Amino acid sequence: MPSEEFESAASAFRRAGEDAVTHARRVTGNAKARSRRHHSENVELLKRSGRGTKSGDPTPGTLRAAAERFRRARGLAVPVVPDPADSVPSRSQSSARAPRTGDEDEDFSQMRIMGRDR
């Protein structure tokens, strides 16, 4: 009978919909739990790093280690970071600019340019 086939198809459709909703709720719950876990880990890292403090090292070792663990866990490359003392020269170590010579020293002020046109 056609009505039995219709009822069977309708119940199968209903079950598929319920299964999809159940799966979506499970996935959403897992995502929220993962988000809460990452948030709490970030809060803990911020506490350990001394948020807002200035130090000689631009990235404290604890944050650097956490970043390396994160990248390794996801199969990403971990770049080799140079020693902070070697990576950025201090202002006293930076070389002073050499004075400009030659054509670059020409005076392009308005009075000189207007005087040439006469």
3-state class of 55 per DSSP?
Answer: coil
- Does position 107 have pLDDT exceeding 90, yes or no? no
pLDDT tens per residue, range 50-70: 765 555 556 677 888 888 999
Residue with tokens 């490359």: 77
* Gyration radius of the chain's alpha carbons: 33
pLDDT tens per residue, range 3-25: 788 889 999 999 999 999 999 99
Q: Report the pLDDT value the prediction gives residue 55, as an integer from 0 to 100.
A: 56
Q: Using an 8 Å Cβ cutoff, are 77 and 71 in contact?
A: yes
Structure tokens at 72: 């390794």
**Spatial CB neighbours of 49, under 8 Å, sequence gap ≥ 6:** 60, 62, 63
